[in-house]
Amino acid sequence: MKINRYGQAEILTPEQVSSLFTEGFVNPRDKALFGVCLYCACRINEACILERGDVFGGYGVRSKLVIRKVNTKGKQGTREIRVHPQLRQYLEEYDSTLKKKRTYLFPGRHGLGHIQTASADRILREICHRLGFEGVSTHSFRRTALTQMSNSGIPLKHIQNISGHKTLASLERYLGVTEQQLEDAIVTLVF
* pLDDT at residue 171 in the model: 78
Q: In the chain, where are the structural domains located?
A: 14-163
The sign one gets for the Cα dihedral 173, 179, 180, 185 is: positive
* pLDDT at residue 4 in the model: 46
Mean pLDDT by 10 residues, the chain (191 residues): 59 94 96 96 92 92 88 75 96 88 86 91 96 93 89 84 79 74 75 80
* pLDDT at residue 75 in the model: 66
* pLDDT at residue 5 in the model: 47
* pLDDT at residue 185 in the model: 75
Q: What is the CATH number of domain 14-163?
A: 1.10.443.10
* pLDDT at residue 170 in the model: 75
* pLDDT at residue 1 in the model: 41
* pLDDT at residue 3 in the model: 45
